[in-house]
Amino acid sequence: MFGKRKAKASSAKGSKKGRKAANEARTCVFCGEEVADPSAVYCPACGAVMPKPEAPKEEPEDAERCPKCGAFIDEGAPFCPACGCNVAVAKKQAERAAAPKRKKKVDKELKRIAGEQAVLCTNDLAGFELMYEDGLAESVEGTFSRTLELTDVSYENEREDQQDAIFDKLCSLHHFFQSPECYQLNLVNVPRTTRRVERYLPETGANKDMAVSYNDLIEQKQREGRVEFERRNFLTFSVPAASAEQAAVRLRALREGATAQLAHMESRATPLDGLERASLIHDLLVGPGKLFTLDYDKLAKTKKTHVRDYVAPAWAVYPPEERTLRRTLQMPGIFAKTLHIKDFGSDLQDSALRQIRRLPVPMNISLLFQPQKKSKMVQTVRQNIDVTQAEMQDYAQAVGKSGGDPTLLPPRDGGQGDGGP
């Protein structure tokens, strides 16, 4: 039994030698005979001198390889000699395909909070793909936007006739935008820690040391509990376009028209550049007290290749009970709650949003408008009228068959109407 195993082992060893010899076989340049012996100096068929076997080319350990096929390439070569790909383009594609590496502390915290439900935040929370230095942003492919910051309008303190006039001008602003343009009003409350403190006791005389200690204690308490909210208003409008250049022309016209409409309401509009827009998003997602290091002049020289890498938090998770509706979001040091007003009654007063905004909490009230074509809206209204008339006819026929009076409308509460049967 052991003899058979030995024979098999020797046979396998011999086959490996045979494959190695076959791989190292040389061909005589004079007669074409293949010589399997790598150490042969003369051809056994014609006696000619055999060429020396070529030594394998040894590449240095730090030699550059093609990011696409893995072949060795010369330093600084623009193209790969093996597959012919552009080395620079292939490197960028490989970097984008590689998953971002997170720190071990972040991974440990994510595992503790949400297990496998953690989400890396890039486009979803940042809300844009590209942010140009002049303030032009590409939210999704083919859709571009700009943002204006608006000053407050003294609507609440005006007379009733002045309030009606402001409301009419606001309606004119809504009518200014046409389909397929979209626009969004954002009323933002951003917390700001007040650095203005007061030192009450004079720090002179014999009790100077005690006065300094007391003032330091009061100053510390003031800094801890003194948080004010900065209320800012924004108007963002977007258009579909094939390129950024085409979108810039259309957005410039919208900016000029919207600025003129807002000036009628005595509200001054200031366009935001890319750094200001990114800083605002950073304050909402990461926090106003966190370090913001975006610099467009140094953007190409850093590891972060997109503006959204500077504004998005490291991670975000939905609590287990909110993973379906996603109304609550947890980020590093921030818990966010989303309330969606789907519908409201016609008796909603204009002071409703003001009362909500007066709450001493950080918030972002977002009002999104999508203008529709007039012909489409007229068609929708006509369809609703037709449906209502059909329901009324069905009701009249049903009442007539039961012997009632079809001219009487049914009461709202389901009971008997005034003077009804």
**How far is 345 from 367, CA to CA, in rounded Å?**
17
**How far is 213 from 126, CA to CA, in rounded Å?**
45
Per-residue pLDDT of 388-409, as tens digits, reads 888 888 888 887 778 777 666 5
Q: Could you tell me which of 256, 267, 266 has the C-alpha nearest to residue 150? A: 267
What pairs with residue 72 in β-bridges?
65
**How far is 278 from 284, CA to CA, in rounded Å?**
10
- pLDDT value of position 420: 40
Residue entry with tokens 């818990």: 335
* Overall average pLDDT of the 308-322 stretch: 80
**DSSP E strand stretches across 141-203:** 143-150, 182-193
The pair phi, psi for residue 258, each rounded to 5°, is -65, -35
- Reported as a pLDDT band with limits 50, 70 and 90, residue 188 is very high
What's at 168, amino acid-wise?
A: D
pLDDT exceeds cutoff 60 at 315 = yes
Per-residue pLDDT of 107-144, as tens digits, reads 566 555 555 555 554 446 788 888 999 999 998 889 99
% of the chain surpassing 70 pLDDT: 74
pLDDT exceeds cutoff 50 at 334 = yes
Give residue 266's Cα distance to chain centre: 33
- pLDDT value of position 197: 61
- pLDDT value of position 4: 40
The pair phi, psi for residue 334, each rounded to 5°, is -135, 135
Specify the higher pLDDT residue, 321 or 356: 356
**How far is 215 from 204, CA to CA, in rounded Å?**
12
The model carries a pTM of: 0.58
The Cα angle at residue 15 between residues 11 and 20, in degrees rounded to 5 = 150
- pLDDT value of position 16: 41
Burial 318-331 (b: 16+ CB within 10 A, else e): beeeeeeeeeebbb
Calculate the alpha carbon distances from 270 to 126, 174, 183, 231, 294 in Å: 22, 19, 16, 15, 21
The Cα angle at residue 407 between residues 406 and 410, in degrees rounded to 5 = 75
Q: Could you tell me which of 186, 181, 368 has the C-alpha nearest to residue 257? A: 181
- pLDDT value of position 8: 39
- Reported as a pLDDT band with limits 50, 70 and 90, residue 272 is very high
Calculate the alpha carbon distances from 312 to 82, 119, 123, 232, 332 in Å: 40, 12, 8, 21, 11
Specify the higher pLDDT residue, 6 or 343: 343
